[in-house]
Structure 1
């Protein structure tokens, strides 16, 4: 079955769908996505390296998991699906919305564009990942303060969306396990439909 993504207008309303395999190019339309930061009960972040075969940012270190909700797919279900598909993680006990309005646009050296309205979520699990080699090359657990220090200090190069998200997540407080859960009413219109 062909995976589809939800296309958006500038106000965040759904305007159609496109095949995921064809949506990323030199003029990628704005579309709905998500990022998830997986922590264990010690507050360590699951950091991953994207598979080298990925179309966008191959081999780049990033947050735990990213993906696209399908048309009418609830966000939490989409996050849990990708955690299972990419990392072999069973359904997390909780998937919490953190940054409902995050949006970014980034351009690779070859001109390929990412252009996403990309709410950010947190999941907590102590289960060891079982990586899908098509999605993730490697992973490691890192303390959140160390990750923040390495990213903001420029010692660890991460995906452009992760770099922008780190600054916004830091503003939520020093302990990722106690970050406040955001109100789903803050999600843009198309995201609320699949929230």
Structure 2
């Protein structure tokens, strides 16, 4: 179900190529910092990230379509919100900051799991992340930041499974990995209230 979106101010830029991301090793230990643009060059440099899954009271997931101006996976459908903690920022602060910056939403967020992946977009850019995954609930109306998001919709879990099976290339690679694990290991977050 596509949503009638309320838009935030288009001048509100919340993502910067020079923002310092946290580099980590495979055990999620901080080993340094690198600007966002450089961390995504080539095959990518392993850095800390997060993905948020916001469900409504019916148990439907809020999906976002990434803005056309995104360097990696523009126009692809993905989970509700994803980004990176910045240098000196706790994950708890980062996840709530970004949910507000992209969607104007607030939610209690529950940690589910973390995992490492690498996904190549093109010859010049990739994601290489150790990603923390959280789930939460909200029935509030989103206020979309058009610099980050071009579309929003709610979808029931079974309908999402069918759509991913029929058209997997429409979805970001990290979202497909995370969704499969949520379906397998965290069915409790999918239950309607």
TM (norm. structure 2) is: 0.83
Match of 2:69 in 1: 53
Q: Distance in 2 between matches of 1:177 and 1:59?
A: 25
Match of 1:109 in 2: 122
Match of 2:53 in 1: 37
Q: Distance in 1 between matches of 2:190 and 2:119?
A: 29
Cα deviations across residues 98-121 of structure 1 (Å, max 9, x unaligned)? 11x311100013441100000110
Name which of structure 1's ranges 44-53 and 154-163 shifts more when overlaid on structure 2.
154-163
Match of 1:184 in 2: none
Cα deviations across residues 4-44 of structure 1 (Å, max 9, x unaligned)? 11001233211111122332111421000000011111111
Uncovered stretches (5+) of structure 1, i.e. residues with no partner: 179-195
Query: Is 1:14 the counterpart of 2:30 in the alignment?
Result: yes
Q: Structure 1 residues 27 and 177 mapped into 2: Cα distance closer, same or farther (>3 Å)? A: closer
Match of 2:87 in 1: 71
Shift in Å, 1:71: 2.4
Match of 1:134 in 2: 147
* 1:43–1:175 CA contact under 8 A, matched in 2: no
Cα deviations across residues 29-76 of structure 1 (Å, max 9, x unaligned)? 100000001111111100110001011111111111001012232222
Match of 1:192 in 2: none
Q: Distance in 2 between matches of 1:173 and 1:166?
A: 10
Q: Give the total of aligned pairs.
A: 174
Cα deviations across residues 106-163 of structure 1 (Å, max 9, x unaligned)? 0013441100000110121111111111100010111122112321x23352100011
Return structure 1 stretches of 4+ with deviation > 3 angstroms.
Answer: none
Q: Distance in 2 between matches of 1:10 and 1:172?
A: 22
Q: SS of 1:118's equivalent?
A: strand
* 2:43–2:120 CA contact under 8 A, matched in 1: no
Uncovered stretches (5+) of structure 2, i.e. residues with no partner: 1-15
